[in-house]
Amino acid sequence: MAYRSLTACLVSFVVCAGLSHCMRAQAGEVSIPAYTAYMLPNAHSARISESMGIVGWKDATQSVNWYGKFESKGQIQVKVEVKTKSTSPIRLKMTVQGKSNEAVVAPSGVEGISEADFGSFGIDEVGFVQFQLEYVPGQTETVGPLHRLVLNGAPADSAHFNLKERRNAASVHLAYPVPEGKEVAAFYCEVTGVDDPTATFYMACGWHRGYFGMQVNSERERRIIFSVWDSGNEAVDRKNVNDENRVTLMGKGDGVYTGDFGNEGTGGHSHLKYMWKTGETQRFVVTALPTDKTFTTYSGYWWHPENKSWMLISSWKAPKEGGWLKGLHSFSENFDGSNGHLRRKAKYANQWIRTSTGEWIELGAAKFSHDPTGKSNRLDRFMGVENGSFFLSHGGYVDGFSRFGERFERPLVGTVPDLTGVE
């Protein structure tokens, strides 16, 4: 998954806004829906939905976890509402900032909402706080659907929780300003994964017609991805795109899969399955070759770490184009909400462009932006400069915040990249 362009992201950012603080169930209470929580350590050990809450929490080795950001210290009262018809008491444990309290869900024998009251906890440190709900060891009977976490107390009044069902970390972007009047024939960028759990896409080279980067699909599969959008306005199904608007495959590297994509615009997709390594710098370059102001051929090359040479991932001829690369950007995306509580961090370094006249220009500045989720739902998203590289960080419920549109500069490297083998 990816975003069609940085412009589209900015438009979405303006029109989509989330809730910024906690919902109040009644006077003095702050309510956090169960469907905003995460199951640990197995994200799929229970079903989570907006309509049902958390259903099927049967495994006593798994826990339910909420995260919120607190701006003040003090005492809070913590309760959890569950639906149960148990004829036996169910013992639960809540842990907050290292302190654990137990509570009993009283037997009723009739299906209905019950309450587990865990008593008082001290918020001793401001920042992000985890609320971890577990079964007490030895507990065999399980609760029904979980409805909500309920907090009382002054620190909770100003706390920030995500209240949306979407539990993905916010997507974050870097936009690279290009000197005015320069026609960009090639865009080069390096990316190093620092924290990269599954369902992560680190996009190195984005432009107005496509994207190029590296993805974590599972514990056993990683990919190098290069995709180019069709012309026209079809958003979902490429079968609805006529031939004159379709991008055409012009070439691909050995072992590269090519096909269609949809549901984010449509176009030509390619990927190479390759277990790129965390902490190892990956090098990407996109080139543009316009033809008669009617077509542009876009090609994506990746430096193969083992072969020590540039590899063509794929090349696509894009209709109704005829221009150069525009809207240069990078981004980081969490495309599965089941693990949006995990941090994603990557370094983006050594950005260069080659102009249509062969001039090389280093891009030492970038502007930060985020998707609508980052506006007020998920505030654990930021960028910065670290060891000469830009970095993007999102998810993990870690402290750090960057303003939308904030500009950063990195030290210039000054050495033009060697693109021997790139056409």
Peptide bond preceding 305: is omega within 30 degrees of 0, i.e. cis?
Answer: no
pLDDT tens track for 362-395: 999 999 999 999 999 999 999 999 999 999 999 9
What is the 3-state secondary structure of 338-402? HHCCCCEEEEEEEEEEEECCCCEEECCEEEEEECCHHHHCCCCEEEEEECCEEEEEECCCCCCEC
pLDDT of the residue at 106: 85
pLDDT of the residue at 346: 98
Residue 112 pLDDT exceeds 90: no
Q: Do 164 and 332 form a contact (C-beta atoms < 8 A)?
A: no
**Which of the four pLDDT bands, split at 50, 70 and 90, describes residue 120?**
very high
Cα→Cα distances 143→34, 75, 96, 351, Å: 13, 27, 21, 53
**Which of the four pLDDT bands, split at 50, 70 and 90, describes residue 11?**
very low
pLDDT of the residue at 15: 30
Q: What is the DSSP string of 218-260?
A: SSS-EEEEEEEEPSSS--S-GGGS-GGG--EEEEE-TT-EEEE
pLDDT tens track for 189-212: 999 999 999 999 999 999 999 999
For 98, left (φ over 0), alpha (ψ -120 to 50), or beta?
left
Strand-pairing partners, residue 361, are 353
pLDDT of the residue at 9: 41
Mean pLDDT for 346-358 is 98
**Which of the four pLDDT bands, split at 50, 70 and 90, describes residue 28?**
low
pLDDT of the residue at 2: 46
Strand-pairing partners, residue 285, are 188, 301
pLDDT tens track for 321-330: 999 999 999 9
**CA 266 to CA 194: how far, in whole Å?**
31
Which domains are present in the chain? 6-13+167-409 (2.60.120), 22-161 (2.60.120.260)
**Which of the four pLDDT bands, split at 50, 70 and 90, describes residue 109?**
low
Q: What tokens appear for 105 in the block?
A: 């869900």
